[in-house]
A and B are shown apart, each in its own frame.
Chain A
Amino acid sequence: MEKQVMEYAGGNEMAAIAIKQIGYDLMGYYPITPSTQIAENLDAMRAGGETDLIMIAAEGEHSAAGICYGAAVGGGRVINATSANGLLYALEQLPVQSGTRYPMVMNVVCRTVSGPLSIKGDHSDIMYLLNAGWPILFAHTVQQVYDFNIIALKLAEQVRLPVVVAYDGFFTSHQKRRCMRFEADETVRQFIGPKREEYPFLDLHQPVTVGSYMNEPDLINNRYQLYLAMREAAERIPALFAEYGNLSGRKYGTVESYFHEDAEELLVLLGSSYETAKEGVDRLRRAGRKAGTVTLNVLRPFPEKELYASCEKAGRILIADRQDSYGAWGGNLSLEVRAMMQKFGGKAKIKSLVYGLGGMDFFADDAEKMFDILKDPEAPDFAYYGVTPGDAGKTADKGNFFAPLTRERTGLGATTVQKETSGEVQVKGGTLNATAAMPKRIAPGHGACPGCGIPVNLNLLLRAIEDPVVLLFQTGCGMIVTTAYPRTSFKVPYLHNLFQNGAATLSGLAEICYRKQKKGEIPPGDIVFVMVSGDGGMDIGMGSAIGTALRGHRILIFEYDNGGYMNTGYQLSYSTPKGARSATSHVGKMQYGKTFFHKDMPRIMAATGIPYIATVAESNPTDFIRKAAKAAYYAKTEGTAYVKALSACPLNWNDNPATERRVIEAGVNCCYFPLFEKEQGKTTLNFDPDAAGKKIPVTDWLAMMGRTRHLCRDAYRPVVESLQQEIDRRFSLLKREAEK
């Protein structure tokens, strides 16, 4: 056995340690809870010089999977980690990876698939992968996360298939446990062995084509090869487990069981619940009942024989699934166990349960209750465990908290927009005092942090709009803090859709509204459709926003730019300033923070030729209101409008909530965030810090925030100089355009 040391860590930390020890070449990733910690820990190790892993923060999981695929084709050792909707967004890339036979490893930290959006753990994501052609190892302890990560890569390279290591979000990923790791990275590397490429893609003397166009009769042969590879995996896994067992002293089987030998009643389940179920079994055994429990360490290739060996003697079997294959009357594990029993002629009476969705805790008591359900002849073959009907008597509607915001109530005349005969769009009014009369579209009581800029910016935007509004939020802090069920802050129609799909969704919604109005099915009158995005939503959602802009739908896209994925613990987004620290751009001896410049989103949107683009800041509130009114005018009459606000995040900018407006003002005055509009192709600089005598160097702004304060040190001068140069370059370009 090789020398090992103890760690006290959660699953994500152990995955990161294994990845570091293996010495992967590249990680392509996109942050999504609860898998994000893997990339965060690796980035911290990078910053400290412990690993030279190339880490590429993609603009979405689809691209992350693409980056991984490209790197794998190139012959690199490649790792990825994701969860839930991230996995689904990447899904179409995964069969390409297996079908073209490029090994890599992906950690799937299991979480509930939206919608409604939940960040907690169940198995609704991983089960989408059953048909992807990837072997799936399922770790039910923190220790296994480490061990399986090491075994997975060796398996992947042996059978030339990509492999998933799956484990429970939060229960396994975040709970800290005593576990062991090899002391020397070399031990791990020797176990895995050197990487061999069958068709080295980068050998220019022997060029190969990867990704053929293939129909019948060839495709079925290609798929048969994939089937054979899965067969091979089934044969190799026991040997790999044994070899690893000799090295570590931890011996695994494809199936794990507890008291199955003489069990009359058997509970089959996946993941961390198996551990808890053992506790339930102990209790029942003490009470004289012959209970046992079984789980799978390998989900693909499905270890049917081993599983049957564990199940054949039991008289009654309950399979509990943390997901449902809706309409199949059981979760996927349940269906597969039933099929296996039928195939091998098992005689047990079988029941299925769906339990623990959305991260609902699973206590040892629950395991006991499940055994009681199994014993109960009256209990149905399939049921949901843990649902509550609710009491109609207690939900009697006591009436709304607010009056609906009718056109009459918002049409104050405080801000008016008019198109002059010259074609110029003029805004009148819009003073802070007059617009204070505008009823807020968002109710108080939302859960944003004290001093958060998001509601401030939304209120400034919406107080300028006198027509009814319909809101759509992409995933992000703004959405999380306003709609935690069973409450909502919105007083107007509101829709949330996935992170990358807001603008497209609102396009469809707006078009139906216009059609219904035309047909007279709903009353006529202007309605302003507003899409709200932030927290990096213009990275993953940029394609959707550009498509919408190019089609010219009459909607307003509003971006609150808080410069990072704040809803998931502040990972870098493309709008994070260069040099800023974040959970995925640590500061250390080998790294100074984020390595590339903040994205110039307004300029990208300008290239689509939409009629109105503006940047706004709460430090210039009347300018903000005027431009919001204009944007709404264009959005309801001409086409897509895009407005971007710099939005404070006291928590992650690490500054004082009370003084956020000054921080925003400094962001404007240093020209990091210049205030301008591009209207029908004409550029206007609304505020010139130079001319106003307010221009400050960017360091003055960076010094105000904990996330960038380190940049003021001498050692980082080149970083700040390059940032200043980029800011100056963008600003002088803007000025030239404005002078035209």
Chain B
Amino acid sequence: MTENMYEILQNRDYYEIRLESIGGLGANLCGKMLGELAVRYLNLNSAAFSSYGSEKTGTPVKGYIRYCLPEKEIRIHSPVVHPDLLAVFHQALMHDQSVWKGCGRQTKVLVALDEGQEELSGGLPDDIKECYVVNARQIAMASKSRINVVMLGAIAKVMGVASLEDVRQICRDSLGKKYPDALEGNLKGLESGYEQVRNLTLCTETVSRKEKRSGESQEWGYATAPIGGVNPRFGSTAVADLSPSRQGYIPIFIKERCINCGLCDSTCPDMVFQFSRGEYNGKEMMVNQGLDYYHCKGCMRCVNVCPVNALVQGSEAEHVQKQYFIPNQDMLRVPDYYVESGPDGYITSESYLTEVRMEGGEV
């Protein structure tokens, strides 16, 4: 099967893969295994790395893998701009325009479908001609493995250059020694990914995608930025829309149960609760008016401390119209646009997190 890749690489320098993921799904490890696979079993040379920072829960993570002929030295260190294969680890990422940057006719796309979903909702950019899907989360749950190994199997199949046994072996090499207990499930997940990935007839529906913008002050340059990195735009992170951080659940406010104790406000890390002076039980006091869902990361701390179940966990999909959605009351003006973002990626070593995740940790 590797013949195919040799043919591809006769005519150009690299075969390039980009992984689009969010922290916690294990794209970093998946990228490393893909890189190592090429070097150990496909008689190719490769390089693998992630967008630096990353691996915080919910942070966008990009993985880059480059293949070339075995005798060629890989001299470039720059990120993959025009991928031959783009693997999207979470369907929610499809709405982000930056995910599709540099993709074109040459790009094969692989998308992890949402839980329980059979078909891809939301179309692909027009010039994408070849698309594959896999129910990664479902498979991962059934096999007690993680999304990254399911995607590893699926990517290997889509590339069409690695045998299932090669991929199994790289998985054994990477995980077997360090995490023997987790190996069996991961091999099962990998195999299912390899076998169950399927080609998708593309729908032609055009979908508008959101452009990622870094906020209102992105145009600052040396001639316009305040000196010294001083930032006079106090409170400007309020333009961030943190809903991409959520894992599908939101706190639902049942106002008539609320006793205005303020515990929710005391436990919320994201300043979501909007209290203002009002009347409760005939007494003048601070009254909970609702939640600023722009800034809610869905941690469910509030649901856990509410003594009267005035806050309950609800599925975001079932509550598209959010009742008591009150944008931050202190804001003087609505920003030009809210910027979708997740937590800041800053972690630069995967040693600890990879371990706890492999051993079934919650992060």
Contact = CB atoms under 8 A, between A and B. Distances in A.
B76 A120 contact: no
**Which range contains the number of B residues in contact with the other chain?**
35 or more
Interface string A570-611: 100000000001110010000000000000000000000000
A392 interface: yes
A653 to B, nearest CB: 9
Contact of B222 (A387, A453, A485): A387
Contact of A487 (B225, B240, B277): B240
A243 interface: no
Given A8-B36, A401-B236, A436-B286, A40 B304 contact: no
B56 A583 contact: no
Nearest to B357: A654
B237 A660 contact: no
Given A36-B348, A41-B351, A44-B351, A491 B234 contact: yes
Interface stretch (A174-182, A183-191, A339-347): A174-182
Contact of B231 (A177, A487, A569): A487
Interface string B152-165: 00000000000000
Interface string A533-576: 00000000000000000000000000000000001111000000
Contacts of B304: 658-659, 661-662
Interface in A109-167: 115-116, 119-120
Contact of A706 (B240, B305, B361): B361
A655 B333 contact: no
Contacts of A272: 77
A660 B362 CA distance: 13
Given A432-B263, A433-B286, A658-B301, A568 B32 contact: no
A450 B58 contact: yes
Contacts of B347: 567-569
B236 A443 contact: yes
Interface string B291-327: 0101101111101110000000000000000000000
B353 A658 contact: no
B1 interface: no
A458 to B, nearest CB: 9
Given A488-B236, A569-B349, A361 B229 contact: no
Given A456-B266, A569-B351, A391 B221 contact: yes
Contact of A171 (B77, B261, B336, B352): B77
A359 interface: yes
Contacts of A278: 75
Interface residues of A, number: 112
Nearest to B347: A569
B272 interface: yes
A41 B245 CA distance: 30
A30 interface: no
A359 B285 CA distance: 52
Interface in A41-58: 41, 44
B22 to A, nearest CB: 12
Interface stretch (B89-97, B117-125, B137-145, B210-218): B210-218
B248 to A, nearest CB: 12
A581 B303 contact: no
A400 B234 CA distance: 7
Contacts of B229: 115-116, 485
A170 interface: yes
Contacts of B300: 451, 657-658
Nearest to A402: B235
Interface in B170-185: none
A100 interface: no
B333 A398 contact: yes
B216 A491 contact: no
A276 B57 contact: no
Interface string A412-442: 0000000000000000000111111101101
A174 B236 contact: no
B35 to A, nearest CB: 6
Nearest to A437: B286
Contacts of B348: 33-34, 36-37, 119, 170, 174, 568-569
B301 A443 contact: no
B230 to A, nearest CB: 9
B346 interface: yes
A176 B35 contact: yes
A214 interface: no
B351 A445 contact: no
Interface string B252-286: 00000000111101111111110101000000011
Contacts of B355: 581, 586
Contacts of A174: 49-50, 52, 348
Given A175-B49, A394-B219, A395-B224, A432 B265 contact: yes
B178 to A, nearest CB: 9
Interface in A228-259: none
A399 to B, nearest CB: 6
B360 to A, nearest CB: 9
A692 interface: no
Interface stretch (A198-206, A369-377, A474-482): A474-482
B350 interface: yes
Contact of A390 (B48, B220, B261, B305): B220
B262 A445 contact: no
A219 B74 CA distance: 49
B235 A388 contact: no
Nearest to B37: A8
A629 interface: no
A657 B58 CA distance: 13
Contacts of B275: 436-437
A395 B344 CA distance: 24
B75 to A, nearest CB: 4
A33 B351 CA distance: 13
Contacts of B342: 447
Contacts of B56: 449, 651
Given A8-B36, A8-B39, A486-B214, A178 B45 contact: yes
8 contacts: A364-B76, A401-B335, A432-B263, A488-B231, A491-B234, A569-B351, A652-B353, A662-B304
Given A433-B262, A621-B266, A660-B301, 11 more contacts: A361-B78, A391-B221, A395-B224, A433-B286, A447-B342, A477-B346, A582-B352, A618-B266, A650-B363, A652-B352, A658-B299
Q: Which 4 A-B pairs have the closest CB atoms?
A: A390-B221, A447-B344, A432-B262, A445-B237
